[in-house]
Amino acid sequence: MKVLVVVGTSSGGVGRHVHSLVRSLTATGHHVVVACPAEVDAHFALHEVATAVVPLEVSDRPHPGRDTRAARALSRLVGGADLVHAHGLRAASLAVLAAARTPVPVVATLHNAAPSGALTAAVYAGLERVVARGSALVLGVSDDLVERMERLGARRTGLAVVAAPPRREATHDRHAVRAGLGVGGRTSLAVVVARLAPQKGLDLLLDAHRELDPALDLVTVVAGDGPLREALQRRIDAERLPVRLLGHRADVPDLLSAADVVVSSATWEGQPVGIQEALHAGAAVVATDVGGTAAVVGDAALLVPPGDPVSLSRAIRDVVLHGAVRDDLRSKAVERSAELPTEDDALDAALTAYASVLPSTAEPT
């Protein structure tokens, strides 16, 4: 089978998923051409796993001129494929336009909610309608994305299966990690793994800290970097909050294993990698109930409403103060970790999706 995979700009989970899926497809004998920005290929080494990689200019935001050129470039590739699998709304909209006058079906996988903001939301709503109505199948990484595509008129929809990140073992014991952070033996440690960007809801995390009893001896460390670092640090300093921004860290498994509680305050998540890594580490997790988070954690987390700092602070306090709650969550995390989807699961799901949109004579093997 010949598959044209289309992906736009990515520096995180989308690129990792595409690399994993393309590697699995080519390893099982399929011909896979990837069309993506040159920097995405360089970052994720897609050329090492694909049959071929073709540079495709896809900007971060819709741009009429560049998008027209990208759709034309894709149209020259579509004819040589049995199907197109596009990842992300921007890539999927271009793929639908490129394949519009051909019999080649488009499978679109949506990995993120559309951006907010009046003008931006209007533009992306238009792209969503294009993808919903022009794709043979739309997959979403969370139920809310699937339901939105159904409301917009998608012919066929389904949940995407994305392989969980591989388990990474801690290399240092929790006492050494805590000592390295300057956290004393009687101090509780909360760990957040998140990009410092609006979607991760870190202002809610800081709001929750204001709700916590000052007598609660708790330090929160945030592993990750991003555009909100300076603004968050200013607020942490101004309010004297016990929160430390660590920047990018290569020792995330160590941090997760040393944590008394792992917290996610995101405003939306699909299939959150950081939480999956926390489950692999057997951590006690507190998270906002947004997007696909509940589907990922099952009963292995305390879920709280989004935008509610009081509920978030209470859940954090319960885990920190009550060893029975913490131990129960840790036990459930280990069990849930064993149930997370693998690369084989993701490949099987993709091939099933492809077979559902191909003529019977062209079904994948």
pLDDT at 122 (0 to 100): 80
Residues of the chain falling short of pLDDT 50: none
Task: Report the distance separating Cα 97 and Cα 55, nearest Å.
Answer: 18
CA distances from 65 to 124, 140, 204, 247 (A): 17, 28, 39, 37
Tens digit of each residue's pLDDT (9 = 90 or more) over 168-182? 999 999 999 999 999
Residue 225 tokens, joined: 């970097």
CA angle 71, 75, 79 (to 5 degrees): 160
The pLDDT assigned to 121 comes to 72
Q: What pLDDT is recorded for position 299? A: 97
pLDDT tens, 145-156?
Answer: 999 999 999 999
Q: Hey, how many other C-beta atoms are within 10 angstroms of the C-beta on 229? A: 16
CA distance 184 to 161: 41
Give the model's pLDDT for residue 258. 97
Which residues fall within 8 angstroms of residue 31, CB to CB, at 6 or more apart? 1, 2, 3, 51
> How high is the pLDDT of residue 308?
98
Ordered structural domains, the chain, with CATH: 2-163+342-362 (3.40.50.2000), 174-337 (3.40.50.2000)
CB 226 within 8 A of CB 197: yes
Taking the C-alpha atoms of residue 287 and residue 272, their distance in angstroms, rounded to an integer, is 11
Continuous segment of H or E residues that includes residue 259: none
Nearest to 354 by CA among 128, 23, 21: 21
The string of pLDDT tens digits covering residues 307-329 is 999 999 999 999 999 999 999 99
Whole-angstrom distance, CA of residue 225 vs CA of residue 309: 22
Q: Is 151 helix (H, G, I), strand (E, B) or coil?
A: helix
Q: Are 88 and 60 in contact (CB under 8 A)?
A: no
* CA dist., res. 226 & res. 247, Å (int): 8
Global pTM reads 0.90
Q: List CB contacts of 179: < 8 A, sequence separation 6 or more.
A: none
